[in-house]
Amino acid sequence: MAKISVDGIEYEVDPDNNLLQECLSQGLDLPYFCWHPCMGSVGACRQCAVKQYRNAEDKNGTIVMACMTPASDGSIISIKDHQATDFRSHVIESLMISHPHDCPVCEEGGECHLQDMTQMSGHNYRRYDFKKVTHRNQNLGPFIGHEMNRCIACYRCVRFYNDYAGGEDLAALGSHHHVYFGRHEEGTLENEFSGNLAEVCPTGVFTDKTFSAHYTRKWDLQTAPSVCAGCGVGCNTAPGERYGTVRRVVNRYHHDINGYFICDRGRFGYDANSSDQRIEVARFRHGQESQFNTLSALEAKRQLNAMIGGDVIGIGSPRASLESNIALRDRVGVQNFYAGFSDGQFNCLQEVTKSLRETGLVCPSIRDIEQSDCILLVDEDITNTSARLALAVRQASRSAATELAKEARIPLWQDAAVRELAQNTRSPLIILSPQGTRLDDVASELHLLRLTEQLHLLQAIAHVIDPQANDLDDYSEANSSLANNIAEQLCRAQRPCLVSGISAESPALVKACTNIGKALRAHHSKNAESPRPIGLCFAMPEANSMGLALLLESGGKSLGAALQRLAQGNVDAAIVMENDLSLRVSAVALEEALAGQTPLLVLDQQHNSFNAKAQLLLPTASVFEQHGTWVNYEGRAQSSYQVFRPSEGILPAYEYLSITDPVQQCLVSSELIIQELARSDSRFNSLTDLRPPRTGISASMKSPRQSHRYSGRTAMYAQAHVHEAQQEQDRASSLAFSMEGVMLQKDASLMASPWAPAWNSNQAISKFQEEVNGELKQGSKGVLLCSRQSNASPYERFDIDSEQKLACFAIAHLFGSDEISAQAPAIQARCVGPYVCMGQSLANALGIRQHGLVQLETATVRVQLPVIIRSKIAQNCIGIYCANEVDKYALLNGKVALQAVSEHESHIASSRAMFDLLLIKDALRGEA
């Protein structure tokens, strides 16, 4: 702790930080542009000038940039000094010289950091009356709008996009006052985190294009704290609603998980909520007729109750909330409740939950991963399955630079200096993968291996670290040196981390990774070193994969068992909740099961080929439309609050499934389901603390969802009825659908949209953090559900399948693999159809040229897919991207025969256009 004096008041600050950050941490208002808590200082904008005095006697002082000055002990500075304020007002005036008169037609208006800072710096009238510099804009794809005139050249965009997120296609172009931030040519921004540009840019140069299409000012959005349902990371989001539709999703700060950034799937996938595929009314089919009757919500509930009788099985879903799964389980009984995973994932998750409880291994949060100094990334293409994890892994590769800077005594916030010092020094990131990934550019080693080869290598590594891990004696020479090398790096690391996933659906992989963790633990304890945190985490494909896995942890039954029962036909009805079973099992298995003519009751959000077969189809609420609890890959349960009431007829699944008196609706609130679970199941005890207690002020005075300047209340729906209806009541949470109530600003867990006086932009979040980039004040961080076992368990044993001639692996894509977000128009613009990728030698052997067609055939399925030939792919291995269209399980589990198909040039052209969207850098250009 150091003491500094600001305008005569003493503050205790952290001397490792710069003055700007510490002033903001203390709640002082000091304007800035180029500095960002995650990206450090470069001193580009000159806006945070303060006066610094040498000592108490010094009355003149010197102007310094707060962001470039360490908060060293005894510093005496003044923010209010008139020379400093003058300086700042002149700086902002010159930054504004070419700023267009755009605020009314700018998407950033009203939440613009530049507006805030201009006000704060006291620049009111334009004096410069020469010509403004103008620029032409670029079309940057479906996500990001570009309006270059508004730029103030703070360089935040390129520092985020290139330095932080590893993008390559955005650059500062031109020179002097003609500097231009854009691509070398028009085109879609490639990076998976491009959406964050809209939040990082202090003004309206980069804006959210999907938001602009149905634009609403920030103050008019009804927001509630939510959790992204795009994947298993559980990023915190703040969706905004107006006129009954979700208008945008922005990042909501969570110290341990997403911090300031979310991926593009989470940000732009919201539009699926109002897509034309949305199920809006319940419908019922009599017998085998093709005609449907539509039902009201009440009728639907009655029909459901009438159909649930006798022996009913329920199939849960990893993309439904914990509440809905519990409601289904309680409705059909534990013995009739089946997992909604594919059987492979189910087996994997059984192992994952076991490893989560393992003593000595920690499941790292995103922030932990960012700080780890050696990462072994096994098999999972996390950029496409859990993108936020990939961003964290990218940051972790900078740990070596951090170490170097510490040695050289360079403060870590001196961003440019640290980068200059480190050059390309990176901490070890070892990737084992069947194909090249987007993290290759920061990987220290990339090993292209098939799954079985990876398993052998992992076994070898575990053996090297701790010979007791397995009785291995026949691993190959090549493997041995590689294993030695990797093992050595892992052992040396202070904070090693293993990252894998369950996309491969291989329990052996989970076991192998867990074994390495255990071996490391044994290694450290044997060498009597101080215990080091050994990170081990598995990326989860869906928002509640882990929640459902924990529910099924003991004695859960697999989907396969459910289908078997259905096929036998000794079941009266089957309830399938928010689950497209055609994506979980092969078509043949599903057909067999449904042949039994069991009445099928489906609850879902979007129409798909599976729920078209349902006898009763009920529309359920999306994550934005219900209170829900979601468990992320760490086993961290988090609450999402209802942002708005869905249209009449759409209910959360748990409201359909709970048996209650329709009058006393409060009986089925998610809060009560969770409380009941916490009470009845000791594993979930800690869930009682998940939501802020509904006592005291929050019980009587609710927290508003709408901003204090929400507009149009008496006109929004006046065209339908001039008499204003009573405002929606929310009896199920401590939030209100209104602008009235107590803004519980101190309890950041109930705050979706940060605002502080003079801080209208998202930068206001610093007012709610303990310190900048630190924990939120009093905010709920969620509850970790996986307690460690008291005893360490022995090594896992597993068999590795014998080597096949041709191995298949499934490819996932950030845009398209998630079935819900894939319905959003903006995401659809980035989605591609199914394809196959393979190496050059295999293609040559089959006689396939780049972008040609190949026929894949198994015992049950035959498809023709376009081919992309890559250089970075394991030998004798093909990757299949199914795009939720092709029967994935038939291809992956069967023996695939490949055959080239002759095709037209037009085919080639269209599939080339498709592959251009994929932006795979190592696609071979050679066309034989």
Contacts to other proteins by CB under 8 A? 100-105, 109-110, 129-137, 147, 149-150, 173-176, 178, 180, 212-217, 219-220, 243, 709-716, 718-719, 721-723
Q: Characterise 333 by phi-psi region: left (phi > 0), alpha (psi -120 to 50), beta (else).
A: left
**Across-strand partners of 9?**
6
Shortest distance (Å) from residue 641 CB to other proteins: 24
Helix (H) or strand (E) holding 458: helix 451-465
Return the number of the residue (125 or 130) whose C-beta is nearest other proteins: 130
Residue 365: strand, helix, or coil: coil
Q: Are 117 and 805 in contact (CB under 8 A)?
A: no
Shortest distance (Å) from residue 319 CB to other proteins: 31
**Across-strand partners of 619?**
604
Return the number of the residue (127 or 409) whose C-beta is nearest other proteins: 127
Q: What is the three-state SS of 856-922?
A: EECCCCEEEEEEEEECCECCCEEEEECCCCCCHHHHHHCCCEEEEECCCHHHHHHHHHHHHHHCCCC
Task: Give the count of beta carbons closer than 10 Å to the beta carbon of residue 559.
Answer: 24
User: Distances from the Cα of 493 to the Cαs of 375, 490, 497, in angstroms?
Assistant: 9, 5, 9
Residue 46: strand, helix, or coil: coil
φ/ψ of 898, rounded to 5, equals -105, 145
Q: Are 366 and 395 in contact (CB under 8 A)?
A: no
Q: Tokens in use for 716?
A: 């929004």
The one-letter amino acid code at 139 reads N
Shortest distance (Å) from residue 735 CB to other proteins: 20
Return the number of the residue (250 or 262) whose C-beta is nearest other proteins: 250
Q: Tokens in use for 527?
A: 């060498």
Return the number of the residue (181 or 341) whose C-beta is nearest other proteins: 181
Length of the chain: 928
Shortest distance (Å) from residue 706 CB to other proteins: 11
Shortest distance (Å) from residue 171 CB to other proteins: 11
Task: Give the count of beta carbons closer than 10 Å to the beta carbon of residue 522.
Answer: 19
| Rounded Cα distance, 730 and 749, in Å | 17
Return the number of the residue (467 or 712) whose C-beta is nearest other proteins: 712
**Neighbouring residues of 8: CB distance < 8 A, sequence distance ≥ 6:** none
**Across-strand partners of 537?**
499
Shortest distance (Å) from residue 131 CB to other proteins: 4
Q: Are 560 and 343 in contact (CB under 8 A)?
A: yes
| Rounded Cα distance, 788 and 821, in Å | 34
Return the number of the residue (131 or 925) whose C-beta is nearest other proteins: 131
Return the number of the residue (205 or 772) whose C-beta is nearest other proteins: 205
Q: Are 840 and 876 in contact (CB under 8 A)?
A: no
Shortest distance (Å) from residue 98 CB to other proteins: 9
Return the number of the residue (137 or 277) whose C-beta is nearest other proteins: 137
Return the number of the residue (166 or 240) whose C-beta is nearest other proteins: 240
Return the number of the residue (198 or 750) whose C-beta is nearest other proteins: 198
Maximum Cα interatomic distance, the chain, rounded to a whole number of Å: 93
| Rounded Cα distance, 496 and 686, in Å | 29
Q: Characterise 569 by phi-psi region: left (phi > 0), alpha (psi -120 to 50), beta (else).
A: left
Return the number of the residue (102 or 592) whose C-beta is nearest other proteins: 102
Burial class (CB in 10 A: 0-12, 13-18, 19+), 634: buried
Residue 278: strand, helix, or coil: strand
Q: Tokens in use for 692?
A: 């802020």
Residue 848: strand, helix, or coil: coil
Return the number of the residue (588 or 716) whose C-beta is nearest other proteins: 716
Return the number of the residue (1 or 722) whose C-beta is nearest other proteins: 722
Return the number of the residue (202 or 652) whose C-beta is nearest other proteins: 202
Shortest distance (Å) from residue 738 CB to other proteins: 12
Shortest distance (Å) from residue 710 CB to other proteins: 8
* Rg of the chain over all Cα atoms, to the nearest angstrom: 28
Return the number of the residue (136 or 406) whose C-beta is nearest other proteins: 136
Angle 524-527-530 from CA coordinates, rounded to 5°: 55
φ/ψ of 264, rounded to 5, equals -70, -25
Shortest distance (Å) from residue 245 CB to other proteins: 11
Sign of dihedral through CA atoms 231, 232, 238, 240? positive
- Round to the nearest angstrom and report the end-to-end CA distance of the chain: 66
Shortest distance (Å) from residue 106 CB to other proteins: 8
Shortest distance (Å) from residue 123 CB to other proteins: 17
Burial class (CB in 10 A: 0-12, 13-18, 19+), 877: buried
The one-letter amino acid code at 165 reads A
Shortest distance (Å) from residue 139 CB to other proteins: 12
The one-letter amino acid code at 145 reads G
Return the number of the residue (212 or 665) whose C-beta is nearest other proteins: 212
Shortest distance (Å) from residue 109 CB to other proteins: 7
Shortest distance (Å) from residue 220 CB to other proteins: 7
Closest CA to 388 of 515, 252, 187: 252
Shortest distance (Å) from residue 126 CB to other proteins: 10
Shortest distance (Å) from residue 757 CB to other proteins: 16
Return the number of the residue (454 or 706) whose C-beta is nearest other proteins: 706
Shortest distance (Å) from residue 716 CB to other proteins: 5
Return the number of the residue (35 or 181) whose C-beta is nearest other proteins: 181
| Rounded Cα distance, 499 and 540, in Å | 11
Q: Are 734 and 703 in contact (CB under 8 A)?
A: yes
